[in-house]
Amino acid sequence: MDLHRSRTSEVDGVTFAGSTAVGKQLLTYVGQSNAKPVWLELGGKSPNIVFPDAPDLDEAARVAALGSVSPATPGDS
């Protein structure tokens, strides 16, 4: 990831999923620019994005939760 790009005013917002160390640096860089919105998922496991137009939000939440704690087995979908 090009952290320095987050400093430019050409970027309107930043999303990042990854390490806490990189997230902290990203916040520093964003703070040195135009204070754009930032969404972080730091140090977590299995980040998921579910868009509001998903056909079944309850099912999406269930599958996301199970996917982070269940081992994958052949034939799963």
Lowest-confidence region among 42-46, 53-57, 72-76: 72-76
Question: Locate tokens 């939440």: which residue?
Answer: 61
Contact indicator for 13, 37 with CB cutoff of 8 Å:
yes
- What confidence score (pLDDT) does residue 21 get? 92
Give the H or E element holding residue 15: strand 14-18
- Higher pLDDT residue, 25 or 9? 25
Question: With 90 as the cut, is the pLDDT of residue 32 above it?
Answer: no
Over range 66-76, report the average pLDDT: 63
Question: With 80 as the cut, is the pLDDT of residue 77 above it?
Answer: no
- What confidence score (pLDDT) does residue 55 get? 93
Distance in angstroms (rounded) separating the CA atoms of residues 3 and 32: 12
What letters, b where the CB count within 10 A reaches 16 and e where it falls short, cover 33-66? eeeeebebebeeeeeeeeeeeeeeeeeeeeeeee
